[in-house]
């Protein structure tokens, strides 16, 4: 599986998504699928240290498709780079 990636203003953004509901471990769970997303931001050229990762903040309902979660992660990453939001990076 390829990780979606875009270049934006001297940075490379990678989007990762995961289905959080219903979980794969609960075959009897009912309801719509929900996904979470993380965006990783690296500099160009790549720095020696690992890139920063951010959990995508979702206001309201989480995305219901993997594509929507990926799009949300990319948009969130661009907002971080543009300085519109100041999130806390995830720890390694």
Q: If you search the block for the tokens 């989480």, which residue do you land on?
A: 62
Residue 92 pLDDT greater than 60, yes or no: no
Q: Are 39 and 12 spatial neighbours (Cβ–Cβ below 8 Å)?
A: no
pLDDT at 86: 85
Q: Are 72 and 56 spatial neighbours (Cβ–Cβ below 8 Å)?
A: yes
**Structural domain range at position 77:** 5-81
For residue range 26-85, what is the model confidence (pLDDT) as tens digits?
A: 777 777 788 889 999 988 776 656 678 888 877 777 888 989 999 999 999 999 999 998
Is the residue at 88 inside a domain? Answer: no
Rounded Cα–Cα distance for residues 14 and 22 (Å): 24
pTM for the structure as a whole: 0.79
Number of domains within the chain: 1
Is the residue at 87 inside a domain? Answer: no
Comparing 86 with 57, which gets the higher pLDDT?
Answer: 86
Section 13-18 average pLDDT = 90
pLDDT at 39: 92
Is the residue at 91 inside a domain? Answer: no
CA angle 83–42–72, rounded 5-degree value: 60
């Amino acid at each position: 599986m390829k990780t979606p990636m875009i270049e934006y203003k001297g940075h490379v953004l990678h989007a990762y998504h995961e289905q959080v509901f219903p979980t794969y471990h609960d075959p009897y769970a009912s309801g719509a699928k929900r996904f979470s997303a993380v965006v990783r931001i690296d500099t160009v050229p790549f720095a020696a240290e690992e890139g920063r990762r951010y959990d995508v903040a979702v206001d309201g309902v989480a995305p219901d498709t993997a594509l929507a979660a990926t799009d949300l992660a990319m948009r969130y990453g661009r907002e971080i780079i543009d300085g519109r939001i100041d999130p806390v990076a995830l720890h390694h």
